[in-house]
Structure 1
């Protein structure tokens, strides 16, 4: 379960790297979609672009192939975890909307400034978010916006992000959005607000779990 890890601070940060490549046979209800959330598609292309952003940032952050390989190894299910995060972000945003919660750009800037001071500068913060949470530098403000949404939503409910009342609100939003994942990425459990791996006879794992060839 991803709840405590995601709500430690980075609720929506992906936690690992490039899971096994999957191929599926049979009918696809949403061609080209990794997921459909509230009738809106998250395309496979969008998902792949997000993963590539992290991979490019990891490549730029290390000095040799061995370090890059270590970064890959530490993030062994990035594709599926990135999709989990992308869906959860939309669920959180719907729950915040339902509660009348809004976040301003100024609030995001203030949060970022405080975190940069703690981390020792903008670059240090970007590196920390990349290494710890697999958030690419260009997604940092977007991620902080979601952190603030989560915090303010919890406050509006008189709780915090680790408590059942907070996750109940996300579960309700998840049901409203009727999340539908492409079977190759598993299924979405609205009660638990998370992605679940599935094993179907028509879904074939074509790589070893956790392995990915470095770019």
Structure 2
């Protein structure tokens, strides 16, 4: 039976900034494995379609193109396809870890946390501008808030302070177990999934690199902006 965890302390929503976990950048170190025709990854037996990743990239690039100094912003956030897949996989891991611990967040909690973030950044527009710089499109903000709340509750349930190395290590262990249980397998064009680091790792062969570049260029073209290397 799952134990439902509650916390009376007010959760500070940092939106992809707490402990650097939600914004973790994939490390480029290892090689790919089996192929996944049509899918970017398999998570717990379920597919994450390549088109789903590309759609998220398209939304981010479109929002970035409208932002101040959009071209510079796009150029400074390359490999968006891999970054978005990493974010999607990390979100699945957080959801699994929360489910294992009986942790939930309500619609009201999400609304309150988002409202607090809007106040913190002095308006919805400025909040969206800050988040798009971190690869989160306006229509992806609610999911980002949900994951942030879940992550904070997971930390609270394990008496872990996400602002300290020890606290981060403790939460990473919890997430690593959830990651292993999901049996994540990634299409080699994106790299491989490291359960311990909870992120993508990669050492591409030339033909995989070229295919990835083509996919990124296609997604950027669909978004109406040039994709960077």
TM class by shorter-chain length?
Answer: 0.7 to 0.9
Query: What's the CA shift for 1:76?
Result: 1.2
**2:65 pairs with 1:59:** yes
Inter-partner Cα distance in structure 1 for 2:24 and 2:75: 14
Partner of 2:92: 90
The answer to whether structure 1 residue 170 and structure 2 residue 175 are counterparts is yes
Decide whether the 8 Å contact of 2:19 with 2:168 is kept in 1: no
Distance change in 2, residues 1:69/1:60 (3 Å): closer
1:66-145 pair list within 5 angstroms: 67-131=69-133, 133-145=134-146
Q: Are 1:50 and 1:82, in contact at CA under 8 Å, matched by a contact in 2?
A: yes
The gaps in structure 1 that reach 5 residues or longer are 1-5, 17-23
Deviation at 1:13, TM superposition (A): 4.6
Q: Is the 8 A contact 1:15 1:75 kept in 2?
A: no
DSSP 3-state at the match of 2:81: helix
Which digits, 9 at most, give the CA deviation of each residue in 1:129-186, with x for residues without a partner? 112x111001111100000000000000110335211000110001000000000100
In 2: Cα distance, 1:189 partner to 1:7 partner: 21
- Aligned counterpart, 1:12: 22
Aligned-partner Cα distance in 1 for 2:189–2:74: 21
Q: Which residue of 2 aligns with 1:19?
A: none
> Which residue pairs with 2:11 in the alignment?
none
Retained in 1: the 8 A contact 2:25–2:199?
Answer: no
- TM-superposed deviation, 1:202: 5.1
Instruction: Name the counterpart of 2:195.
Output: 190
Structure 1 moving runs of 4+ over 3 Å: 9-16, 210-213
Q: Tell me how far apart the structure 1 counterparts of residues 50 and 42 of structure 2 sit (CA, whole Å).
A: 11
Q: How does 1:6-45 map to 2 (within 5 A)?
A: 8=18, 11-13=21-23, 28=35, 30-45=36-51
How far, CA to CA, are the matches of 1:10 and 1:113 in structure 2?
Answer: 22
**TM-score normalised per structure 1:** 0.81
The Cα of 1:9 is off from its aligned counterpart by: 6.3
- What is the TM-score normalised by the length of structure 2? 0.76
Any idea what SS the aligned residue of 2:120 has? helix
